[in-house]
Amino acid sequence: MRKRILTTLAAVSIIFATAFACGEKEKTEVAPEKGKKKVIENTLTESDMEIVRQAKKFFKVLPEIAEADYEITDELVDLGKMLYFDTRLSKSNTISCNSCHNLATFGVDNNPTSIGHKWVAGPRNSPTVLNAALHGSQFWDGRAKDVEEQAEGPILNPIEMGSPHEEFVIDRLRTIDSYSDLFASAFPGTQEPLTYKNMARAIGAFERTLITPAPFDEYLSGRSEALTENQKKGLKTFMDVGCTTCHTGSVLGGDLFQKFGLIKGPYWEYTDSEKIDEGRYEVTGKDFDKYVFKVPGLRNITHTAPYFHDGSVWSLEKAIEIMGITQLGRELTEEEIESIADFLASLTGEVPEYARTLPILPKMGKETIHPDFD
C-alpha cells in the first residue's frame, strides 16, 4: 500500500531513527536517494545530548507522510495533484490551489494576502501547505478540521476561486476528458466517484505527501553536524525563553489557538496592521476568542514571508522581536533574536520533487462550461 508514493518521498526525504543511547554511538538509517540507504553514525557530543534531551520534550521528527483515516493510494494522490494544479476548479478558469500555495515557493505566494477572483485581495495571509496536514486544524481561525475539509472552502469562496456552488465544479469536471475515469480509478467500488467530497479528499491525499524533513530532524536523530553551533544556541534559546509554550510537535506549532497580544497588546500596535482582525471570534462569536489565531507551524519559515495572519511583517527577525514582546512579555536581545532566526533556518527542508513537477492535465471536452469572470 502506497508503495510508489513512499518510494518517491524517499528520494527527497530522510528517514530518521529517534532513539540513541547516552555515551554510545549508534547508527541511524537515512534515504537521501531513491532506493538507496546510507548509514550515518550518531555523532552527538555530551552537550548535544543535553540539548536534544530537552528538545525531545517539545519536538518530534517529521513522519514520512501525514496519515489519514482512509487509504492513500497512488491513484488518489495522482488525481489530487492534478486537481491541485488545475485552474479549471475556479469560476474564471485562472486560479488553482497552487496559485496561493505555490509549491515552487515553499507552499505560499509570498504576498501579504492573496489575490483571488476578480483580482480581489483576501483578508488573511495564505499559510504554507507544506506539512499542513500534520496540523490539528486548518485556516488561521481553525474553521476546518483537516486538509480535506479545508480543500472544500476556497473553491467556493467568492473572493478566492469564485465557483458559485458544488454542482458547478462537478459539472465542469465532467466535461473534461479523462477525469471521470481518473475518479473511478481513485475511488473504486463507489457508485458515483466524481463528487465534490471526493475531489476534496483527493486534494487532501496529495497534500498529505507534502512533508519536508530538514536538518533539525537529523539533529534530533543523532547527527551533531546537522546544525551549526549558533543554530544549537538558537534552539536552546528558543526553548529557554518560552517559545515552546506554543510552538511544539513535529511542525513546531499548528495544534493550539492563542491570543495575539497575550501579554502585551493590542497586537496591531506592534505589527502596524492596516486592519484589526478579530480572529477566531468570527467563527465562534465568543468574546474569549477575540484576537485568537491558530499558532502557525514554523517549518520552512525562512521562505514563507511575510508573517502573521495579515502578512504585515516581512522580516523574520522583526517577527521574532514582536513575538517576544506580545507573547512572552520580554524584549529579546539582538543576539537572542539572531540565534533564534538561525535556528529556524534549520527547519527548512526540500519540497518533494514529485510535488513540484507540473502534471499533465486532462484536456477539455467538446462541451465545456466556459470561464465566467463575473
Question: Does residue 18 have a pLDDT over 70?
Answer: no
Say yes or no: 292 and 178 in one domain.
no
In a domain, 352, yes or no: no
Say yes or no: 300 and 281 in one domain.
yes
pLDDT given at position 137: 98
Question: Does residue 298 have a pLDDT over 80?
Answer: yes
Task: Give the active site residue among 64, 152, 160, 321.
Answer: 160
In a domain, 182, yes or no: yes
Report the C-alpha gap between 371 and 57 in whole angstroms.
Answer: 52
Domain assignment of residue 110, given as a range? 74-210
Say yes or no: 84 and 105 in one domain.
yes
pLDDT given at position 239: 98
The residues, ordered by sequence, that sit 6+ positions from 75 with a Cβ below 8 Å of its Cβ are 182, 185, 186
With 0.75 as the threshold, say if the pTM is over it.
yes
339-367: average pLDDT = 91
Say yes or no: 220 and 126 in one domain.
no
Least confident window among 27-41, 307-321, 337-351: 27-41
Say yes or no: 55 and 89 in one domain.
no
- The CATH number of whichever domain residue 218 belongs to comes to 1.10.760.10
Say yes or no: 192 and 231 in one domain.
no
Q: What is the pLDDT of residues 189-223, one digit of tens each?
A: 999 999 999 999 999 999 999 999 999 999 999 99
Q: Which of 191, 210, 229 is the last residue of a domain?
A: 210
Least confident window among 23-27, 113-117, 179-183, 331-335: 23-27
pLDDT class for 177, splitting at 50, 70, 90?
confident
Q: Which of 210, 232, 256 is the last residue of a domain?
A: 210
Q: Which of 164, 185, 210 is the last residue of a domain?
A: 210
Say yes or no: 256 and 326 in one domain.
yes
Report the C-alpha gap between 151 and 137 in whole angstroms.
Answer: 12
In a domain, 136, yes or no: yes
In a domain, 23, yes or no: no
Three cell numbers written together for 29: 538509517
Q: Tell me which DSSP letter residue 224 carries.
A: G
In a domain, 299, yes or no: yes
Average pLDDT, the chain: 90
Helix (H, G, I), strand (E, B) or coil at 37: strand
The residues, ordered by sequence, that sit 6+ positions from 368 with a Cβ below 8 Å of its Cβ are 172, 175, 176
In a domain, 35, yes or no: no
Q: Tell me which DSSP letter residue 357 carries.
A: S
Share of the chain above pLDDT 90, in %: 85
Mark whether 160 is an active-site residue.
Answer: yes
pLDDT given at position 364: 81
pLDDT given at position 370: 61
Does residue 266 have a cis peptide bond before it, meaning omega lies within 30 degrees of 0? yes
In a domain, 11, yes or no: no
Number of domains in the chain: 2
Question: Does residue 11 have a pLDDT over 50?
Answer: no
**Sole residue written with cell 507540473:** 358
Say yes or no: 326 and 260 in one domain.
yes
Question: Does residue 21 have a pLDDT over 70?
Answer: no
Say yes or no: 169 and 256 in one domain.
no
248-275: average pLDDT = 98
Question: Does residue 79 have a pLDDT over 70?
Answer: yes
Say yes or no: 313 and 337 in one domain.
yes
Report the C-alpha gap between 148 and 70 in whole angstroms.
Answer: 11
Question: Does residue 40 have a pLDDT over 80?
Answer: no
Share of the chain above pLDDT 70, in %: 86
Say yes or no: 195 and 131 in one domain.
yes
Say yes or no: 151 and 220 in one domain.
no
In a domain, 319, yes or no: yes
Q: What is the pLDDT of residues 92-129, one digit of tens each?
A: 999 999 999 999 999 999 999 999 999 999 999 999 99
pLDDT class for 371, splitting at 50, 70, 90?
low
Report the C-alpha gap between 156 and 163 in whole angstroms.
Answer: 5
